Amino acid sequence: MSNLILEQKGAVACLTLNRPEIHNAFDEHLIAALTAAVATASADPSVRIILLSGAGKSFSAGGDLGWMRRMATYSADENLADAQGLARLMATIDTSPKPVIARVHGSAYAGGLGLVACADIAIGVPEAQFAITEVKLGLIPAVISPYLVRAMGVREARRWCLTAQRFSATEAHRLGLLHAVVPAETLDAVIDAEIEALLAAAPEAIAETKRLLKAVDRPLTESVIAKTAQRIAVRRATPEAREGLAAFFDKRSPTWVRE
């Protein structure tokens, strides 16, 4: 059985972690498979949205204990290469030009929570539990830390990374790791509404907006301000923007909206 289920439903690439017997913990093989799947979906013009989910009771428990045992026997070079694989996964999700939704139907720990923090939209259920557990094992949440800090801020990250305590979905929502907490029976309906909203937006504009938000996530300088003006000027001249404005004034749907 594949450790990653790949399905395309219309314009949505559904990527499901499929190791339910160990709570979708990942090893180097699942990391490589998920990285490749996200990269492929990101480059596929028929894909508009990427949906990450988990099979079984959990979203993802983070690192597989067997994988972590193997790490202890690696050389320095092997450990670096292995860590770079996980870092590449997080970056591939984060920089995808397609919006990435995390369907958090169950608990997410350590690297699994990193996947949630990398996603553009994360919707969870009240029963889900969360923790950044690395320090309990003498490790550090290194490759997921930029995404955690961006989502929850440095001060909150200090508390949860240093104590490794579990926290609830309500707390994850307060911290900014989840955008919404909804009952399990309405989870898919809420995600479908997010998908519908995304499909109503222009795909190239979404990709450019993701790049824009990354570019302005820094101290506001004259250079940043000037580049924002340059970006919108370039965007206004694109065929997609012209079609969007024409459709608005013609009172019709733009070409990217599927009736």
Alpha-carbon distance 17 to 15, whole Å?
Answer: 7
Q: Which of 134, 156, 194, 243 is catalytic?
A: 134
Helix (H, G, I), strand (E, B) or coil at 202: coil
Give the DSSP per-residue string, 183-214: -GGGHHHHHHHHHHHHHTS-HHHHHHHHHHHH
Place of tokens 């909150």: 156
134 is catalytic: yes
* 118 CB neighbour count, 10 Å cutoff: 26
Residue 30, CB half-sphere, CA atoms under 13 Å: how many? 27
Q: At what angle do helices 203-216 and 222-236 cross, to 10 degrees?
A: 170
Which residues are marked as active site? 134
